[in-house]
Amino acid sequence: MTTSMCAQPISASEPDPYERDLKAAKAAGWRKVDLDWERLQEAGLAAWRAGDEATAIAKWRKARRLAFWRFRRRDPRYATSLANAAMAARLHGNETKAHALYTQALVIWRRVPAQIETLELARRARSSMFHLRMEARHWDTFLANQRKRIAGFVADAHAALDALKDGRQPDCRLYERWKGEKPPVFDDYRKMLAAALLIAAPISQAMAS
């Protein structure tokens, strides 16, 4: 009996993706809980979109526990944790609890716009010296544009939370935009963007296409 040697074993020196991201996140000033919360919300939404409600609910509840113990109550991600716990309650048929949690999330979210100007943004990696120089010369313009963009995401999230509280389908996509907007760096902008776009919300067939 012969054994094929075509398949190459995975090198033990290859970094685990989570460990690689955790190392980069910590170097940028993030805590482990910041990355873990983001990963849990991503996993919950991915499971929900795939039709696995049980896994989605489990991930959202774990993320809420992390937020309860480790995030300040004014943190936008705490509001997102409440909102996704509300969706978990709704999926279980507990509309009274869902409405109460969405209401709590909205109380926090109404204060989020005031935090935008305080966000610290990291410089983005560029592919050439030209782009590095352009970013250095126009950093203030870049910051202003990014804050304008995040303000739009925050407004969309607010509208989505209002709709979800009333049992309506939001008019905007959230999670689907996160997959394209997710920054390559670990900074305050990424935390705020995750809070805005990782809110669990159903989408219509037209929005999904």
Q: What is the rounded distance in angstroms from the CA atom of residue 94 to the CA atom of residue 92? A: 6
Q: What's the farthest any 2 CA atoms get from each other in the chain?
A: 70
**8 A C-beta contact, residue 161 and residue 102:** yes
| pLDDT tens-digit map of 2-36 | 444 444 454 556 679 999 999 999 999 999 999 99
| pLDDT tens-digit map of 157-209 | 999 999 999 999 999 999 999 989 999 999 999 999 999 999 999 976 545 54
Query: HSE on the CB side for 111, CA within 13 Å?
Result: 11
Average pLDDT, the chain: 89
pTM of the model: 0.86
Question: What tokens were used for 208?
Answer: 């999904």
Taking 90 as the threshold, does the pLDDT of residue 125 lie above it? no
Q: Domain ranges for the chain, please list them.
A: 29-208
